[in-house]
């Protein structure tokens, strides 16, 4: 049931203390677009945020934290767009306790079916002394005032006591009690710096629930960072001790070592249901697809051995294991990959495959594309089958994610010629289609990629710093597709970093495409908001 329809979510005290009366629904609060976007080097444009939010809606998350509206014009617009377009989940906007923050958050989220203001202030003495320079009394006052102010806009108000786990327990309980009295319907107890261990954190949550007299009027939420690799374990320990909202991100991305990973929390609760005795409303079959989308749009690769969504999570290498799984899956598999929407399919697509086969395979992989997008994919697929004999699912996904589901192509690579060798200066000639017109330039560089990028800079007028260049083979074999990822930052303007990706059997062509893809995103951002993103006023 959607949180909008579940009365307990909106009106009554959702959390019922301990024992038999305990509500066993766990609310999933996704912060991929806010804390996840705070991952170093990640920057999503408005359209990409909307695409992720739409996918989160399909995944069935209860609350989508769409951003921090006062941080920048871009953040504000993205939160507003998500609030206007994504239904079926509550949309949250983050705000510090200042009224300006709260007003701005409300302006962005007010269009949502259910709008949540998420306001926060730190409660640990370390933060009070060194960061806020406030006394405990002042923090308590600010927290209560913020919740009351937010309540004027919406009944759904969440309060977070930043750095809760390193806060004095009695003071924290005093704040929690006061914000609940002020109307907070969810109170979040973050382990902001990932310092907790599961047993301690579980006890900490249990103590808060035991000590705060009005706790039954709210949902206790947890938000764990992964600095010691324990974010998921800590979140689950909190759930066993009465927390009923878990804040997490897809693929566990986030500030520093990241946040608790949504897919791990959800699948642990599901797979070990008898132990946890709680449930979530997540559509598990959408997990793999969501993970791929987030990885592709953020440029943050999922490590191969990552639980649930890593490339190797369901791969059996040893002969003994393979033999066991073939005889009976449960010998070495505790989850069926189909549960997370992963259809392991090794049927090979090749140059004789038609448009229909591509369309069917894309649907199986969870890509419900428009006819135009299928045509575009098919043309790119056909062009590559001359150079590459066999296509696997990963190859197809790479084409779709890198070359089809992306911003409009202001600049399109038409032709590339490179002269390079051990005893010559690398030179590149690049021809682009720029808004329908053919333009060509040549440049020399320190290496062939540098020469290509210099020629593109001349053609596009871009002046950028290249922060990252990565090259990967999508699948094995000599004719593997090379996938290049770049991160570039326009010089002079805002501090935004743009991710570009390109694929080709020729790695230099993939390099050119990746750079142009990032360039097209810059051009698109300039069209969208005049490239006017302001600097964040404050990080979280």
In the bound state with ligand KIV, the residue whose beta carbon lies nearer, of 100 and 360, is: 100
Using CB under 6 A, pick the residue from 228, 257, 357, 540 that binds ligand KIV. 540
Question: Shortest gap between Cβ of 448 and ligand KIV (angstroms)?
Answer: 43
Could you give the angle at the alpha carbon of 390 between the alpha carbons of 385 and 396, nearest 5°?
Answer: 75
Candidates 34-42, 368-376, 396-404, 502-510 — which segment interacts with Zn ion by CB under 5 A?
A: 34-42
Task: Give one DSSP letter per residue of 417-438, joined into a string.
Answer: EEEEETTEEEEEEEEEEETTEE
Question: Shortest gap between Cβ of 261 and ligand KIV (angstroms)?
Answer: 15
Question: Shortest gap between Cβ of 162 and ligand KIV (angstroms)?
Answer: 4
By beta-carbon distance, which residue lies closest to Zn ion? 35
Q: Give the 3-state DSSP-derived string for 21-49, with helices as H, strands as E and coil as C.
A: CCCCECEEEECCCCCHHHCCCCCCCHHHH
Using CB under 6 A, pick the residue from 48, 62, 162, 263 that binds ligand KIV. 162
Question: Shortest gap between Cβ of 94 and ligand KIV (angstroms)?
Answer: 6
In the bound state with Zn ion, the residue whose beta carbon lies nearer, of 35 and 37, is: 35
In the bound state with ligand KIV, the residue whose beta carbon lies nearer, of 256 and 272, is: 256
Question: Shortest gap between Cβ of 116 and ligand KIV (angstroms)?
Answer: 13
In 3D space, the residue among 2, 6, 125 whose CA is nearest the CA of residue 64 turns out to be 2
Residues in 224-243 that interact with ligand KIV by CB under 6 A: 225
Residues touching ligand KIV, count (CB under 6 A): 10
Could you give the angle at the alpha carbon of 432 between the alpha carbons of 429 and 436, nearest 5°?
Answer: 155
Residue 268 has which token pair?
Answer: 């642990």
Residues in 13-52 that interact with ligand KIV by CB under 6 A: 35
Question: Shortest gap between Cβ of 193 and ligand KIV (angstroms)?
Answer: 8
Q: CA 292 to CA 311: how far, in whole Å?
A: 11
Candidates 29-37, 449-457, 485-493, 510-518 — which segment interacts with Zn ion by CB under 5 A?
A: 29-37
Using CB under 5 A, pick the residue from 26, 28, 35, 249 that binds Zn ion. 35
Using CB under 6 A, pick the residue from 80, 223, 306, 361 that binds ligand KIV. 223
In the bound state with ligand KIV, the residue whose beta carbon lies nearer, of 254 and 482, is: 254
Question: Shortest gap between Cβ of 132 and Zn ion (angstroms)?
Answer: 17
Question: Shortest gap between Cβ of 159 and ligand KIV (angstroms)?
Answer: 10
CA distances from 283 to 48, 220, 260, 262, 279 (A): 21, 23, 18, 12, 12
Residue 359 in the binding site for ligand KIV (CB under 6 A): no
Q: State phi, psi for 98 to the nearest 5 degrees.
A: -70, 145
Residue 529 has which token pair?
Answer: 């908001």
Q: CA 267 to CA 315: how far, in whole Å?
A: 18
Question: Shortest gap between Cβ of 502 and ligand KIV (angstroms)?
Answer: 34
Question: Shortest gap between Cβ of 405 and Zn ion (angstroms)?
Answer: 28
Residues in 180-199 that interact with ligand KIV by CB under 6 A: 188, 190, 192
Task: Give one DSSP letter per residue of 188-257, joined into a string.
Answer: EEEETTS---HHHHHHHHHHHHHH-TTGGGSEEEEEEB-TTS-HHHHHHHHHHTT--EEEEBGGG--STT
Q: CA 280 to CA 235: how far, in whole Å?
A: 14
Residues in 357-386 that interact with Zn ion by CB under 5 A: none
Q: CA 351 to CA 390: how far, in whole Å?
A: 8
In the bound state with Zn ion, the residue whose beta carbon lies nearer, of 94 and 139, is: 94
Question: How remote is the C-alpha of 191 from its chain's centroid?
Answer: 19
Residues touching Zn ion, count (CB under 5 A): 1
In the bound state with ligand KIV, the residue whose beta carbon lies nearer, of 225 and 501, is: 225
In the bound state with ligand KIV, the residue whose beta carbon lies nearer, of 9 and 120, is: 120
Residue 400 has which token pair?
Answer: 């779709």
Contact 150, 117 (CB under 8 A): yes
In 3D space, the residue among 104, 43, 54 whose CA is nearest the CA of residue 81 turns out to be 54
For β-strands 464-473 and 482-490, DSSP reports them as: antiparallel
Q: CA 522 to CA 352: how far, in whole Å?
A: 37
Using CB under 6 A, pick the residue from 76, 120, 204, 288 that binds ligand KIV. 120
Residues that bind ligand KIV (CB under 6 A): 35, 120, 160, 162, 188, 190, 192, 223, 225, 540
Residues that bind Zn ion (CB under 5 A): 35
């Amino acid at each position: 049931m959607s949180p909008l329809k579940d009365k307990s979510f909106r009106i009554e005290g959702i959390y019922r203390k301990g024992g038999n009366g305990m509500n066993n629904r766990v609310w999933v609060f996704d912060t991929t677009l806010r804390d996840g976007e705070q991952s170093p080097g990640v920057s999503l444009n408005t359209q990409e945020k909307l695409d992720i939010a739409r996918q989160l809606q399909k995944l069935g998350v209860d609350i989508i934290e769409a951003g921090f509206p006062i941080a920048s014009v871009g953040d504000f617009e993205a939160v507003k767009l998500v609030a206007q377009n994504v239904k079926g989940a509550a949309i949250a906007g983050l705000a510090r306790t200042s009224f300006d923050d709260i007003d701005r958050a409300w302006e962005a989220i007010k269009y949502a079916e259910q709008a949540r203001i998420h306001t926060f202030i730190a409660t640990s003495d370390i933060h009070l002394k060194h960061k806020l320079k406030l006394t405990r009394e002042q923090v308590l006052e600010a927290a209560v005032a913020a919740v009351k102010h937010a309540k004027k806009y919406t009944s759904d108000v969440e309060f977070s006591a930043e750095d809760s786990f390193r806060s004095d327990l009695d003071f924290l309980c005093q704040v929690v009690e006061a914000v609940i009295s002020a109307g907070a319907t969810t109170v979040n107890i973050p382990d902001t710096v990932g310092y907790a261990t599961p047993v301690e954190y579980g006890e900490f949550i249990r103590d808060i629930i035991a000590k705060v007299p009005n706790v039954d009027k709210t949902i206790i939420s947890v938000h764990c960072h992964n600095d010691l690799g324990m974010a998921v374990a800590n979140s689950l320990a909190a759930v066993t001790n009465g927390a009923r909202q878990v804040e997490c991100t897809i693929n566990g991305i986030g500030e520093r070592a990241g946040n608790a990973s949504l897919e791990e929390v959800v699948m642990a609760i599901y797979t070990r249901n008898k132990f946890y005795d709680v449930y979530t409303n997540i559509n598990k079959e959408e997990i793999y697809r969501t993970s791929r989308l987030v990885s592709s749009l953020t440029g943050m690769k999922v490590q191969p051995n990552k639980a649930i969504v890593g490339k190797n999570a369901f791969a059996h290498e040893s002969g003994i294991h393979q033999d066991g799984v073939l005889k009976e899956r449960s010998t070495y598999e505790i989850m069926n990959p189909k549960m997370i929407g992963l259809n392991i399919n090794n049927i090979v697509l090749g140059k004789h495959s038609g448009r229909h086969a591509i369309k069917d395979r894309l649907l199986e992989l969870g890509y419900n594309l428009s006819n135009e997008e299928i045509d575009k994919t098919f043309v790119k697929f056909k062009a590559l089958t001359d150079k590459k004999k066999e296509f696997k699912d990963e190859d197809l996904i790479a084409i779709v994610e890198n070359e089809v589901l992306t911003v409009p192509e202001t600049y399109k690579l038409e032709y590339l010629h490179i002269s390079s060798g051990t005893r010559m200066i690398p030179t590149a000639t690049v021809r682009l289609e720029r808004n329908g017109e053919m333009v060509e330039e040549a440049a020399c560089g320190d290496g062939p990629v540098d020469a290509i990028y210099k020629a593109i800079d001349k053609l596009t007028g871009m002046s950028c710093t290249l922060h990252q260049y990565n090259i990967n083979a999508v699948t094995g074999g000599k004719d593997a597709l090379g996938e290049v990822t770049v991160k570039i930052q326009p010089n002079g303007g805002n501090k935004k970093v743009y991710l570009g990706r390109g694929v080709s059997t020729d790695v230099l062509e993939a390099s050119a495409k990746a750079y142009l893809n990032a360039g097209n995103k810059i051009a698109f951002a300039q069209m969208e908001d005049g490239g006017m993103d302001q600097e964040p006023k404050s990080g979280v």
